[in-house]
Amino acid sequence: MRVVDVALYTSAAPTYFPSVDGYIDGGVVANNPSMAALAQTQDRRARMRGRPDLSEIRLLSIGTGTSLMIIRGDRLDWGYAQWARPLVQLMFEGIVGVADYQCRQILGEYYHRISYRFRPEEGIALDDWQARDRLVHIGEQVMRTNVAHAARWLEKHWLTD
């Protein structure tokens, strides 16, 4: 399989891009695939010689950002139309958070995640191409903080174990 095909398959986000050869973006199911990857290491059906012990696994998870979302109101009696947009975002963010929590609980210090946390007022839509300058600025900020921390984690847990 060619790298370009994999890139097209994994970026075919429904409503933004067409499916490619029947594939759609994996984020529809696992927006943070860390837990799926961890589970795969323990799959009894996998064709590998012995499954690694959890103490042997080091998992670095790299995200594209988490959107903190606030839904204002004490008691929302919304219908389908009002819940449609926020519910989809809540479900995607929830999947990311659950996978992060599970990996952190199972692997402890042997799991590390890099992902920028967008404040509610600074969220960027997936198709907002005009936000590229802001994204570059955020990327530089992530490089200064999160990546340096991740490099120390890699040095401690990946290069010395």
Give per-residue pLDDT as tens, 74-125. Answer: 888 888 888 887 887 788 788 888 999 999 999 999 999 998 888 877 778 7
Rounded Cα gap, residues 8 and 133, in angstroms? 24
5-to-9, 23, 28, 69 alpha-carbon distances in Å: 6, 10, 18, 33
What is the per-residue pLDDT for 112?
95
Q: Which residue has the higher pLDDT, 161 or 152?
A: 152
What is the per-residue pLDDT for 161?
57
Output the six-digit token pair for 88. 């989809």
Output the six-digit token pair for 23. 């594939």
Rounded Cα gap, residues 17 and 11, in angstroms? 8
Mean pLDDT in residue range 3-32: 85
Does residue 22 carry a pLDDT above 60? yes
What is the per-residue pLDDT for 87?
84
Rounded Cα gap, residues 138 and 118, in angstroms? 9
Helix or strand (DSSP H, E) at 59: strand 59-62
Rounded Cα gap, residues 116 and 111, in angstroms? 17
What is the per-residue pLDDT for 51?
83
Do the strands 66-67 and 59-62 form a parallel or antiparallel pair, or are they unpaired? unpaired
List the domain boundaries for the chain: 57-159
Supply the mean pLDDT for the chain.
86
What is the per-residue pLDDT for 102?
96
88-to-67, 80, 101, 131, 134 alpha-carbon distances in Å: 12, 11, 20, 22, 24
Rounded Cα gap, residues 101 and 35, in angstroms? 9
Q: Which residue has the higher pLDDT, 55 or 70?
A: 55
Q: Given pLDDT bands bounded at 50, 70 and 90, which one contains residue 143?
A: confident
Q: Which residue has the higher pLDDT, 119 or 140?
A: 140
For tokens 């210090």, name the residue.
109
